[in-house]
Each structure stands twice: as C-alpha cells, then as structure tokens.
C-alpha cells in the first residue's frame, strides 16, 4: 500500500509507475464499505518535480448498489482519477495543499479512501430503462406485470397511457 520512491526521490524529472491493490477492509470501517468490491486497484505514476513529488493515476473498482427504482443489486465499474502533491516533511514552504511524506515511501492510503468517498454516487439505477416497482403492490415491473395499473386508469386516458408505456 506504499509507493517506494527511492528511485525518483533524488532525480529531478525522474518518473516511476506504480500499481497497488487495496482491500476495502484496509481503508474503511466495516459499515462504510458495503458498496465496494475487492480489489481496489490504484495505478499511476510519481514524477519528481524538484521540490515536490507529483502522484497521479486512476483508482479502479467494481461497486455494488441497490437500484433506486427496483431495489435489485447491480454492479458498476468505477474509475476515479486522483492527483496529489507530496513534499518531504521538514522542508520549508509547505502548504495545506501539499501532503508530507517521510523517508523513501509514500502512503496513498488516505488519498485512495478520500477519493472513494467523494466518488460514491448518491443514486444509481440498474438501467436507465428500469421500470421500477409498482407503487401499489411492489411487483418488480422489469420482471413481470401487475394488474394495478389497468384498474385505476380512466378509459379515456388509456390511449395516453399506452403511449407513455411505449417510451
């Protein structure tokens, strides 16, 4: 879960690729990560820019959500870009936007965790075409139909409803 920066640390312009795998249990409390499937893979590069080391890349994972309309489980692949600047602790001119590191390793544990929290969608649907559940009887209208709909519709509106159903 750490990037070894031994090779880039002392050479301005040097670049190093990395690929790290995380488990959700390493990053989150138990009740926070139900939506995340292992592994969480972070790939990217470290570039020595003189005073700073620039770390950037992408976090890839598969997330599990319950559809907001039909409540069925569905899976989404998520790719989250990340970017952070690191400076060796003890150096002068540090600012809030810069994360400090010590020694010859950079930990991106916090960076990955925060990126995941920010990327979590508030609402998801299994498909844009999901018909959801019948508000009356709870039937999953993707799988079957129910009788509720027909019963309540005024015959004069039936033609309109048919048009809507086709959408």
Residue 111 has a CB neighbour count (10 Å cut-off) of: 19
One residue of 1, 78, 80, 134 binding Zn ion per CB under 5 A:
134
Backbone phi, psi, residue 70, to 5°: -110, -5
Q: Which is nearer to Zn ion, 5 or 70 (CB)?
A: 70
148 sits near Zn ion (criterion: CB under 5 A) = yes
One residue of 64, 136, 150, 162 binding Zn ion per CB under 5 A:
136
Q: How far is the CB of 155 from Zn ion (least distance, A)?
A: 19
Kindly state the helix (H) or strand (E) to which residue 79 belongs, with its residue range: strand 73-88
CB 57 within 8 A of CB 42: yes
Q: How far is the CB of 25 from Zn ion (least distance, A)?
A: 28
Q: Which is nearer to Zn ion, 24 or 126 (CB)?
A: 126
CB 74 within 8 A of CB 62: no
DSSP letter string, 80-93: EEEEEEEEETT-SS
Q: Which of residues 64-93 bind Zn ion (CB under 5 A)?
A: 67, 69-70
**Bridge partners (DSSP) listed for residue 20:** 42
52 sits near Zn ion (criterion: CB under 5 A) = no
Q: Where does this chain bind Zn ion (CB under 5 A)?
A: 67, 69-70, 126, 130, 134, 136-137, 139, 146, 148
């Amino acid at each position: 879960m750490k990037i070894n920066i031994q090779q880039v640390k002392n050479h301005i312009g040097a670049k190093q690729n990395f690929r790290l795998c995380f488990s959700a249990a390493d990053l989150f409390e138990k009740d926070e990560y139900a939506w995340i499937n292992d592994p969480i893979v972070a790939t990217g590069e470290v570039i020595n820019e003189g005073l700073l080391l620039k770390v950037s890349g992408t976090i890839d994972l598969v997330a599990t959500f319950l559809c907001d309309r039909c409540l069925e489980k569905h899976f989404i692949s998520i790719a989250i870009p990340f970017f952070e600047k690191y400076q060796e602790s003890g150096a002068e001119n540090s600012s809030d936007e810069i994360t400090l590191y010590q020694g010859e390793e950079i930990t991106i544990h916090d960076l990955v965790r925060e990126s995941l929290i920010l990327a979590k969608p508030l609402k998801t649907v299994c498909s844009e075409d999901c018909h959801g559940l019948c508000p009356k009887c709870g039937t999953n209208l993707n799988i079957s139909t129910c009788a509720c709909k027909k019963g309540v519709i005024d015959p004069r509106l039936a033609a309109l409803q048919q048009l809507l159903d086709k959408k």
